[in-house]
Amino acid sequence: MSGPGAAEAAPRVYISYAEDSRSHIDSVIEFGTLLRTEAGIDAHVDAWYADQRRDWVSWVIDQLQQADFVLAIASPGFRQVADGGSPGAAGRSRELEAAILRDNLARALPEATRRILPVVLPGRSREEIPLCLQPHSTSFHVVPEYTVDGVQSLLRVLSRQPFYELPPLGAWVPPAPGVRPVVIATGSQPPTPDTLLRAGATIAVGDGTYLADDEHWAELPNRDGSAVLRQARASRLYGEREFVWLRQLELRHPTPAAHAALAGLEREYELVRSIATGARSLPTPGELVRDGAVTTLATRWPASRNWGGPADTLSAFVPEEGAAVDPWRAHQTLRGLAGLCQALHLLHRAGATHRNLTPSGLVRLDDGSLVLTDLGLAASAPEPGEGPEEYRAPEQSRRRSGRVGPWTDVYQVGVISYHLVSGQLPYPAAPVPVHALAPGIGAAPAAAIDAALLPDPARRPGMSELASVLRDLPENLG
Cα angle: 89, vertex 91, 95; to 5 degrees? 120
| pLDDT band, residue 187 (cuts 50/70/90) | low
Cα separation, 437 vs 197, whole angstroms: 42
Mean pLDDT on 53-76:
92
Q: Residue 350: which domain range?
A: 314-471
Integer angstrom CA distances of residue 71 from 45, 119, 123, 169: 10, 6, 17, 34
Q: What is the mean pLDDT of residues 91-95?
A: 68
Query: 286 with 360, same domain?
Result: no
Same-domain check for residues 148 and 60? yes
| pLDDT for residue 184 | 55
Q: Is there a single domain that holds both residue 226 and residue 292?
A: yes
Q: Which of 448, 447, 455, 267 is nearest to 375 (CA)?
A: 267
- What is the number of alpha carbons within 13 Å of residue 47 lying toward its C-beta? 16
Please tell me the predicted confidence (pLDDT) of residue 180.
59
Count CB-CB contacts under 10 A for residue 64: 17
pLDDT of residue 179: 56
Determine, yes or no, domain membership for 196: no
Does 184 reside within a domain? Answer: no
Beta strands in 279-353 (DSSP E): 285-291, 294-300
Which pLDDT belongs to residue 6? 41
Stronger pLDDT, 260 or 214, i.e. the higher one: 260
- The residue with greater pLDDT, 441 or 433, is 433
Higher pLDDT, 180 or 221: 221
Residues 463 and 428 both lie in one domain: yes
Angle at 87 between CA 323 and CA 11, to 5 degrees: 145
Average pLDDT estimate for 52-57 = 90
Q: Which of 158, 192, 221 is the last residue of a domain?
A: 158
Residue 26 lies in a domain: yes
Contacts of 161 (CB under 8 A, 6+ apart): none
Residue 332 and residue 295 share a domain: no
b/e per residue 423-454 (b: at least 16 CB within 10 A): bbbbebeebeebbebbebbbeebbbbbbbbbb
In sequence order, which residues have a C-beta less than 8 Å from that of residue 92 and are 6 or more positions away?
none
Give buried/exposed letters for 457-475 (b at 16+ CB in 10 A, else e). beebbebeebbbbbeebee
User: Is residue 478 domain-resident?
Assistant: no
Please tell me the predicted confidence (pLDDT) of residue 427.
85
pLDDT at 443: 85
How far lies 388's CA from each of 149, 214, 347, 357, 361, in Å? 22, 20, 19, 8, 11
Q: Which of 300, 334, 357 is the last residue of a domain?
A: 300
d(CA 99, CA 91): 13
Predicted local distance difference test score (pLDDT) of residue 235 = 94
Task: Give the pLDDT of residue 1.
Answer: 37
pLDDT at 186 over 70: no
Per-residue pLDDT reduced to its tens digit, 308-365: 889 999 998 888 766 677 777 777 878 889 999 999 999 999 999 999 999 999 999 9
Mean pLDDT of 260-289: 89
CATH number at residue 66: 3.40.50.10140
Compute the average pLDDT of residues 42-61.
92
- Distance (Å, rounded) from C-alpha 50 to C-alpha 56? 10
Write the DSSP symbol of residue 72.
Answer: E
Whole-Å CA distances, 421 to 260, 334, 384, 416, 477 = 39, 8, 30, 9, 8
Domain assignment present for 112: yes
d(C-alpha 374, C-alpha 288), whole Å: 13
For residue 179, is it within any domain? Answer: no
In a shared domain, residues 141 and 23 = yes
- In this structure, the answer to whether residues 119 and 231 fall within a common structural domain is no
DSSP annotation of 39: T
pLDDT surpassing 60 at residue 408: yes
Residue 5 has pLDDT above 70, yes or no: no
Q: Is residue 174 part of a domain?
A: no
- Structural domain tally of the chain? 3
Tell me which of 128, 158, 188 is where a domain ends.
158
| Domain annotation covers residue 1 | no
- Residues 328, 465: one domain? yes
CATH number at residue 227: 3.30.200
My answer on whether 342 and 437 are in the same domain is: yes
pLDDT bin (cut points 50, 70, 90) of residue 178 is: low
Does residue 476 have a pLDDT over 60? no
Q: Is residue 478 scored above 80 in pLDDT?
A: no
Do 229 and 253 belong together in one domain?
Answer: yes
- Percent of all residues in the chain with a pLDDT value above 70, rounded to a whole number: 90
Q: CA-CA distance, 418 to 409, in Å (whole number)?
A: 14
Asked if the model's pLDDT at residue 398 lies above 90, the reply is no
- Domain co-membership, 250 together with 320: no
CATH assignment of the domain containing 440: 1.10.510.10
- Do residues 463 and 343 share a domain? yes
Beta bridge partners of 221: 228
What percentage of the chain reaches a pLDDT higher than 90? 47
More confident residue, 313 or 161: 313
In DSSP terms, which residues pair with 297 in a beta bridge?
247, 288
**In the structure, how many helices (H) and strands (E) does the chain have?**
12, 14
Comparison of pLDDT for 96 and 249, the residue scoring more: 249
Tell which wins on pLDDT, 317 or 450: 450
Q: How do residues 11-32 score in pLDDT, each as one tens digit?
A: 999 999 999 888 899 999 999 9
